[in-house]
Every structure is written in structure tokens, then in C-alpha cells.
Amino acid sequence: MKSFFTLVLSAILTLNISCLSLFQNISSFYLNTSMVDELSSEVDLGITSKSAILIEAETGRVLYEKNSDERLKPASVTKVMTLLLIYDAIKSGAITLEDTVIISEHAASMGGSQCFFEAGEEQKVMDMLKCIEVSSGNDAAVAMGEHLAGSEPEFVKQMNEKAYELGMENTNFVNACGLDDENHYTSARDIGIMSRELITKHPEIFEISTIWMDYITHKTSKGESRFDLANTNKFLRQYTGANGLKTGYTSEAGYCISATATRDDITLIAVIMGAETKEIRNSEAGKLLDYGFSKCKIYTDSQVVDNSYKIKIMDGVMEYTYPLEIKEHKISMLDGNIDDIKKEICVYDDLKAPIRQGDEIGVVKYSINGEVIEEIKMYSAIDIAKKSYRLSIRDLCNYFFVVE
């Protein structure tokens, strides 16, 4: 009898494996949609600046690059990171737009582009944001860093921690405003990364970055006086759809910009570093954006996978698990026919209990002409315990001996 049950159990396991294999074969399906894969890294756009990159903001796809990982001085484009940390703090509730910022002697002593604050002067966070983004005030950037972290060195530490978190591999900040220092550097790619983080996580930045003219009121012991703010980003008026983000210049850095623009629901980020003149900087940012808008299209899968999709599990108290729902996914591509993409749901082989909620159970693959262009992992939506020995024997008996 014992050898009989051993043979039967072996047969059942073989049957289960065969069934799983069959399920794997029929569990994938294809969907023809619109996508293109023609990343033109070799296209010649005539970019003469030291470094450049073009990124589609929603997906983060790089559409063009030139020396994009070269470490260069960023000048005031540094303030993109300063602004990112400020907006993060606002979103977390650590500060509000109405909080009062007291200008320190250190902040007031900043050279370069400034809003001419006096030590002890008080300003609201909202007005400081305008000073940083619109007028590129070094004093305002340092004052906000001190307000958030207690000191500029501590704020710079947070800037570098954020850069590391975002995967900015060629960046080291020394100050909050972008004044030249041999150890203060970043790359076009890293500027693109932090710019994308800022505009996608905090799109309210566009409410300030598009301000052309404004003013603040200085409030000092000598009384009140108006200080006019003029946007340093003249590209806003030179390119249709431009809505940000930050310019920079020093004699060592040259002319730099992180330029953002939106047309037909597509937002692009064009970074230029080390241009010889501001005219070249703006012209070449425009070339990048023209190229992107003429070529870039975005494919949207409105339902990647829903939790009604059954996935076979061996040796579990339940026969199936279900994936966590993945609603929308977007892929940006360049040019071409919009009919070649295929989507395939692939379940991992030999899925056995126990399965815990959140365990990887497969991937969704998007491909063109057999080449996978993106993958999304699938995770189990539920826990499935391993079937006990007693329950396995009972199921085995029920399979072979049906009692009427």
C-alpha cells in the first residue's frame, strides 16, 4: 500500500507540473498598440555646448545626449536641487509658504546674483521661492537652506543625500546657490534627473517659474522698500510652450540651462551646460526641444494587469493567486509607425506555496520586433499557505477514490 501511494503521489506531481507548463504557455497574450523605438543617440543636432541631454519628463526616457555624464560646474542651475528640497519640505508639512525666514549675516553676504537682503531681515517662504526661481538670488537660496537645515553645510549635506537617493552619480554639491568651487559639480544627466523630480513631484513650481515680473518688499530697520524681480530665464519668451526651469552662468561654468517646455501633453527637459554665450545656450536648448517635440510620442497602457488574472500555484491551500493591479503605464518612443508594440504577461516557472503578498510572480513585457523595450514586475496580491501533508493525502485520495 505504501509503495502504491508513492507511485500515485509521483504521478500527481508530474501531472501538476505538466498542467503548470500548459498554463504558462496559454497565460501570455499579445496586444498590438502604438510605439516606436528609434532612439537617435547618433543624430547630429549641431550642439556645440560642452554637454547636453534631452529627457521626456513623464517616463524619464533619454531622447538625445552629448557628453551627458561629464562633470561640469552648474552655476545657478544648482538651485534646482535647492528648490526640490524646499518643495519636499512644504509637501511633508515641515514648513509652509507663510512661514517667516530670517536672513542671516552669512546669507546676506553672498555675492553674485542676489536680492540684496540685510542681516536680520524677515521674509515669507513664498517670497523667497520667487527670489530663488525668478531672480536666482544666491542670498535667498542660502537663507532657505539655513531655514530648513539650521546651517548651509547641513543643508548641502541634505542636497548630496538627495542626489545619491536619486541616482545622480556625477554630482557633488558644496553650496546651496551654485557659486564656483572645484568640488562643486554635476552633469547634464544629473541635472535632468533632479529637474524631472522637481517638476513631476511638485508641478506647482511652474506657477513660479513662469512669472516674468514681480516684486518683494524689503522690511528692515530702515523701513520698507520695493525690490523688483525680473525672470533670468529669457527662454520663456523665446520658445513656444516653455515653462521653466532654471538658468545659470559663471565665468568658469559658462552658460547653462535646464529648460522645460510642454506641448500637446508632452513635457520635455532640455539641459545645456558650458555654452559660450547665452544666445547659444538658448538656441541649442530650442534645438533639443524642437527635435523632441517633432519625434516623441507616448504610448499609454491604461490597464497593465488587473487582479482578475489567475496564476497557478503548486502545493498551496489555494490553486491560484492574483497579481496586484497595475493600472497605467506609459512609454515614450521616437518616431516611426505606431503599430509594432506587443505586450506579454509572463508568469514565473515553478511557482510553489508558500506565497506571500508582494512576492514576485512574473513580469509584463513590452517588445518591438521581438526586442524587449521595457518590463514591469508583477507581485502577488494575496498570501497562499503551503498545503499540509494531511491535506495533500486527502486530496490524493479524493482524486483516485471518489466515494458516492
CATH of domain 51-297: 3.40.710.10
Q: Cell numbers of 311, please?
A: 496564476
Name the pTM for this structure. Answer: 0.79
> What residues are labeled active site?
76, 79, 136
Pick out the chain residues at pLDDT < 70. 1-42, 335-339, 388-404
Length, in residues, of the chain: 404
Angstrom CA distances, 222 to 89, 244, 255, 340, 352, stand at: 32, 35, 37, 69, 76
* pLDDT at residue 185 in the model: 98
* pLDDT at residue 228 in the model: 97
- The structural domains of the chain, with segments of one domain joined by +, span 2-30+302-400, 51-297
Q: Report yes or no: 312 and 19 within 8 Å, Cβ to Cβ.
A: yes
* pLDDT at residue 67 in the model: 96
* pLDDT at residue 225 in the model: 94
* CATH T-level assignment (fold) for domain 2-30+302-400: Peptidoglycan synthesis regulatory factor (PBP3), Domain 2 (2.60.410)
* pLDDT at residue 329 in the model: 87
The torsion angle over the Cα atoms of residues 292, 297, 302 and 307, rounded to 10 degrees, is: -80
Q: Which string of b and e fits 217-229 if b means at least 16 CB within 10 Å?
A: ebeeeeeeeebeb
Measured at the alpha carbon of residue 89, what is the angle toward residues 55 and 233, in degrees to the nearest 5? 45
